[in-house]
Structure 1
């Protein structure tokens, strides 16, 4: 195992490249090339790729190595559904405990991730929060691109942010969460074609 002072920056650098779509879906991730690019030895790169494989951020096939994952429309719908279930569960645990969010701004993906972590964090359940965080990472690229498929997506997110910030009734927030996830599930086929053109 690589020392933490080398492993963590290597892991974060590779993860960021995956989240922003630096590499196309299906691309083979060669540890030696990544090590050269990042200026580290091959060991922290391999350790990072295995860690990312455990998080489903990278696909691994015995004999073939690591690849940038292809997010299919069924998997995208499953992730959206799971995210919605977890957020609704978090709200049902502590429906009234809402503080105004302190961080605002950023791109749609960053805003969405912060909002959903804020909602998930209210449950006080570390496993729930970690799962929502992992889903945020896996959907980051989709959220960066969703405006190209769903022109109304930014307004939809802004409405949800306002509902949370203005402490609207839990029923209203639940309705907005359901609508948010449903509309993206409906657009899953178009979104996956955008993320992996030519497939």
Structure 2
């Protein structure tokens, strides 16, 4: 396997892991451990971590290595609002054809839902930004599910409205984000408790 192939494999694997919400905000990423887990040398791991830092999915702290970005109330509110802006922009740009090629696939989670909406825009930049927001919100969404009941129904309702090209789609997306903005302090508190337990 050549260095280019290894670097891409490592990058893709780390990005998938981040998108799954496997690391809590503030968690330190150990290159040596990641190298062992991914059967790689340290160089592709460090290259991938630097690339992910450039995408703001992780951060590099001087003298303290790579970490998952910490979240506070202001930052999480900004991230939710950004996710809503992206979804609403994708909706405005959405093509009039069937977004899933003619058949409806129920989204498994919020990341799938917003990914489908982004894809319907026909904009690679929107798709990329939504994927980044999804990765940054992945851990938060695990926490959300312990607070908000019936998230699957909520996502299903938005998906149905979207596929039917209903004018209610925009309102449902707004309600989705409004309900989360209302519980930001609780989410941050639970994340803090999680990170204290991990330590």
Q: The TM-score by the shorter chain falls in which range?
A: 0.7 to 0.9
Q: What does 1:117-132 align with in structure 2 at a 5 Å threshold?
A: 117-132=115-130
Provide, for residues 3-42 of structure 1, a one-character-per-residue CA deviation record: whole Å limited to 9, x for no partner.
Answer: 2321122123323333344444323222122212322100
Q: Alpha-carbon deviations, 1:143-195, whole Å to 9, x = none?
A: 23322011132221121122123x1422x111001001111111112112222
SS in 2 for 1:66: strand
When the two structures are superposed, what TM-score results if normalisation uses the length of structure 2? 0.84
1:88–1:42 distance in 2 versus 1, CA, 3 Å:
same
Equivalent position SS for 1:148: coil
Given the alignment of the two structures, is residue 72 of structure 1 paired with residue 72 of structure 2, yes or no? yes
Farther off after superposition, 129-138 or 117-126: 117-126
* Count of matched residue positions in the alignment of Structure 1 and Structure 2: 192
- In structure 1, runs of 5+ residues without a counterpart are none
Q: Unpaired segments of 5 or more residues in structure 2?
A: none
Normalising by structure 1, what TM-score? 0.84
How far does residue 95 in structure 1 lie from its aligned partner after superposition?
Answer: 6.6
Distance 1:70 1:101 in 2: 39
Report the equivalent of 1:17.
Answer: 17
Match for residue 180 of structure 2?
184
Residue of structure 1 aligned with 2:142, choices 133, 141, 144: 144
